[in-house]
Amino acid sequence: MSDYNQSLLTSDVVKAFNQSPDPRLNLLMTTLVKHLHAFAREVDLTPAEWMAGLQFLTKTGQISNEHRAEFILLSDILGLSMMVVSLTQARESKSIEGATEATVEGPFYWPGAPDVALGGNIAEGVVGEPAYYTGHVTDVAGKPLPNALLDLWSGDGDGTYDVQLSATPTMQARGKIRTDEHGRYRFWSIRPTYYPIPSDGPVGELMRATHRPINRPGHIHMMVSAEGHVPVTTHLFVADSPFLDQDAVFGKRDSLVVPFAKHAAGTAPDGTVMDKPYYTTSYDFRLAPLPA
């Protein structure tokens, strides 16, 4: 096919995808086709490479299930997840100015975490070094937000999430905490450690083939929300974690890196008597008001 006919092919497919009454769908599909065709032409894509790509996507689907989000992982390592986060922040930059920065949700969110009393432990019995988390949820002016919700999830002290432990996992290191009347939160969990992203599937194969490092720095995930405010999906990163500047999914933000102070066994700030060393950390989350 001549160059002319390659261009004609693209324009025919674009035209075919430009007939929906939904203009946004038309834009998404016609632009996708233009970029896919341009990619194929730029690299002079061979049939074997095209088929390898399709087989890769097939395997990505086949390994995915309720607890294995290989497509989210793929999006994460391509930087697409972080690009969408960044575009959202740019689009909403005026209305979310001063709010806590967002980062990727990642592949391990599991809706329906248990409610945990303020000050409780979301990681009871979970392997790892205990850590006590405190802080506030406020608006962007610093006004405390009572009854704000922190929906938390974390790997264990070995860097493994509950959904990776078994084919029929039970929840661990997850919990929902609400702030008190002064916008304060506090809970126990473990100090998160760095971990390799799941590498036993097609994404892992791709990472190895492209010689990419597969670790993420230690972090705990949270969705923070409060009535009348823009929710944020974010992490807190452990300040002295390995791989802080080599996050395999490009999610690290400097504003989300917090120190974890180590303490000898003894009485923790909430009065708990600890028979082994523990950590404390603190962070104030700021939420922007919903646009009027």
Q: Tell me which residues touch Fe ion (CB under 5 A).
A: 106
CA angle, residues 192, 190, 82, in degrees to nearest 5: 30
Instruction: Report, in Å, the least distance between residue 202 CB and Fe ion.
Output: 20
Instruction: Report, in Å, the least distance between residue 155 CB and Fe ion.
Output: 6
C-beta closer to Fe ion: residue 221 or 229: 221
C-beta closer to Fe ion: residue 106 or 128: 106
| Residue at token pair 């697409």 | 80
The pair of structure tokens assigned to 141 is 């002016």
Alpha-carbon 197 to chain mean position: 12
Task: Measure the CA–CA gap between 38 and 3, rounded to whole angstroms.
Answer: 12
Q: In this chain, which residue has its C-beta nearest to Fe ion?
A: 106
Task: Measure the CA–CA gap between 288 and 229, rounded to whole angstroms.
Answer: 6
Instruction: Report, in Å, the least distance between residue 251 CB and Fe ion.
Output: 8
Instruction: Report, in Å, the least distance between residue 221 CB and Fe ion.
Output: 6
C-beta closer to Fe ion: residue 130 or 155: 155
Task: Measure the CA–CA gap between 80 and 73, rounded to whole angstroms.
Answer: 10
C-beta closer to Fe ion: residue 193 or 280: 193
C-beta closer to Fe ion: residue 106 or 183: 106
CB 281 within 8 A of CB 258: yes
DSSP string, 110-126: -S-PPB--TT-BTTTT-
Sign of torsion over alpha carbons 70, 161, 257, 232: positive
The pair of structure tokens assigned to 137 is 């949820």
Instruction: Report, in Å, the least distance between residue 154 CB and Fe ion.
Output: 7
C-beta closer to Fe ion: residue 152 or 287: 152
DSSP string, 225-285: E-TTB--EEEEEEETT-TTTT--TTS---GGGEE--EEE-SEE-TTS-EESS-EEEEE--E
Return the amino acid letter for 86: S
C-beta closer to Fe ion: residue 106 or 130: 106
Instruction: Report, in Å, the least distance between residue 174 CB and Fe ion.
Output: 12
Instruction: Report, in Å, the least distance between residue 106 CB and Fe ion.
Output: 5
Sign of torsion over alpha carbons 39, 25, 231, 126: negative
C-beta closer to Fe ion: residue 106 or 175: 106
Instruction: Report, in Å, the least distance between residue 162 CB and Fe ion.
Output: 12
